[in-house]
Amino acid sequence: MLVDRVSKLKVETRKCGSKAVVISAQGVLDAHTSPQLEKKISNIFNKGIFWVVIDLGGVKYISSAGAGVLISSMQEAEDNGGKFLFVKPSTSVKELFELLGLTNIFQSFDNQSDAIAYITGR
């Protein structure tokens, strides 16, 4: 059975203090939608903010293109003294991370509060 799905991604951001941003994503992160997320992250980095919490709880699917955006963003954050932290990736997203061998490099938290506490040291 062939399923025709339209790729949609909703991305919202909010500042968390002066040195961090929380990104909440919902939908599908694939070749069609990953440039949208990449642009949001680039805008954050251009402001000198390299501590990013990305909530993947609403992301149903991530393609290799989407994973590429996450990997390169994490690397850029770390190269600039920051961190790129993940919150509640879905089961299918966790499986992709495991398949790609990323579970050891992607730091994940069960909720935004824990990730923010990690950043703020509380």
Instruction: Decide the pairing of beta strands 20-29 and 51-62.
Output: parallel
pLDDT tens digit sequence for 6-35: 579 999 999 988 889 999 999 999 999 999
Q: What is this structure's pTM?
A: 0.86
Model pLDDT, residue 90: 82
Domain definitions of the chain by residue range: 19-120
58 CB contacts (<8 Å, ≥6 apart)?
10, 24, 25, 26, 27
Question: What is the pLDDT tens value at each position of the chain, 122 positions in all?
Answer: 344 455 799 999 999 888 899 999 999 999 999 999 999 999 999 999 999 999 999 998 999 899 999 999 999 999 999 999 999 888 888 888 888 888 788 888 999 999 998 888 76
Inter-residue long-range contacts of 68-77, CB under 8 Å, 24+ positions, other chains counted: 68/34, 69/29, 69/34, 69/37, 69/38, 69/41, 70/106, 71/102, 73/38, 73/41, 73/45, 74/105, 74/106, 76/45, 76/50, 77/45, 77/50, 77/51, 77/52
What is the average pLDDT value for the chain, to the nearest integer? 88
With respect to CATH, is domain 19-120 assigned 3.30.750.24? yes
Model pLDDT, residue 3: 41
Helices and strands (DSSP H and E) totals, the chain: 4, 5
